[in-house]
Structure 1
Amino acid sequence: LYTLDVTPWQAALGTSISVPTLGGAVELKVPAGSDAGRKLRLRGRGLPGNPDGDQIVEIEIIAPVPTDEAQKKAYKALAKAFGEKI
């Protein structure tokens, strides 16, 4: 099991991220609309055997801390777009 940190926009819009496996890094497509806790399977990328096992990747959504006014403004605009009152 591997926990993959993604930003809210990566989870909402979908993305492709490099994920480490026992056989080396692979590109994993995170589907649009992924929620925290979603599990994705990398077939044949887990423990070696006959057949090789699968690696499970669990999505964890992290919210970057805004470090300047532009980022705070972007968060406020996002909250407003989703109907949040600030």
Structure 2
Amino acid sequence: MRAIVAQRHQIAIPEEICKKSKIAIGDTVDISYERGKLLIEKIDESWEKVMKETKGAWSEHPVFKEMDDAIEIVNWMRGKE
């Protein structure tokens, strides 16, 4: 499927893809670029809530203490920017 990049770099995710991936209006997605491809992943709100609740848990870790929250730590561990 194809989509057109509009003003402000916006794209519309085709309805068929939204249904298959269970993405609904108002859902949060993670967009990343890996190996020449854009990846769009739905963020489970409960997962994001858990990650935010763990903020500060790694405050003494030599690498993680410089990061803002667990989401940033997980993204770093996955090699995402």
Q: Which has the higher helix share?
A: 2
Asked which structure has the greater CA Rg, the reply is 1
TM score, norm. by length of structure 1: 0.20
Q: Which has the higher strand share?
A: 1
Between the two structures, name the one with larger relative contact order (CA 8 Å, sep ≥ 6): 1
TM score, norm. by length of structure 2: 0.21
